Amino acid sequence: MLGKSGSGKSTSLRNLNPKTTVLFSPLGKRLPFKGSDKNYTVYNKEKNPNGNVIVTSESKKINSWLKYISSDLTHIKTVVIDDSVFLAAKELDRRKDEKGYDKFSDIAHDFLVLSETANTLRDDLTIYFMYHVTTEGDGILEAKTTKALSYGKMIDEKLASIEAQFELVFLAEKIVDPVANTISYKFKTRDAYSTVKTPIGMFDEERIDNDLNFINEAMRCYYEDNC
């Protein structure tokens, strides 16, 4: 899930069932919708073992958690990794005193392992990575393209692209109507000027509501062909 800050990525969790959802939060931010403090609480082994928000920016820890959720917490159906770009940013900060380029190779490797794990877990577990975006090209000499923000050219080169690791990519948009004086939040399902991709026929509309529960149902309908 791609999008600028404030474009509706985190708000898209609002209709998910919190009892079947786990959120990984690298920054420990509150979710921006009513009731989120009650429904999404921070996990603590002693004080809150049933918490469904895990505050960590370490890819290795998230990778271990994903395997555990897949094998042992089978009631969990949706996992969201919020602010995924900060997995790299925080790791670079932790290793800021290191010289050389090994840390960039390690970050790229850890992300590849994490994405590979996400793609090999049980079929009824859906995992979302939330990413901030950057725009490349000037629209004149080079095509202007919106893509996932990465930390460093070396990381990009080793990954080929972040989006290549995933089956579906959406772009969150904040749409302002100055005439009606309204703001709406949508997800783009296809776009010529970004790295958005969805399977043919999964969505009829170019824009859908920013609702992960709706996307979960659409994917289930499409892949299981039961609706």
Give yes or no for a contact between 195 and 161, defined as CB atoms under 8 angstroms apart: yes
Fold (CATH) for 10-166: Rossmann fold (3.40.50)
Enumerate residues 6+ apart whose C-beta is below 8 A from 22. 52, 53, 54, 65, 69, 73, 76, 78, 79, 80
Tokens of 54: 């895990």
Q: Provide the residue-wise pLDDT of the chain in tens; the chain has 227 residues.
A: 999 999 999 999 999 999 999 999 999 999 999 999 999 999 999 999 999 999 999 999 999 999 999 999 999 999 999 988 889 888 888 988 888 888 888 888 888 899 999 999 999 999 999 998 888 766 666 667 888 777 666 556 665 678 888 889 999 999 998 888 899 999 999 988 889 999 999 999 999 999 999 999 999 999 988 77
Confidence at residue 157, expressed as pLDDT on a 0 to 100 scale: 62
Domain locations along the chain: 10-166
SS3 75: coil
Of 148, 132, 130, which is closest to residue 1 (Cα–Cα)? 130
As a whole number of angstroms, the distance between CA 19 and CA 109 comes to 32
Confidence at residue 152, expressed as pLDDT on a 0 to 100 scale: 61
Please give the order of strands across the beta sheet that includes 182-188.
171-177, 182-188, 207-209
pTM for this entry = 0.90
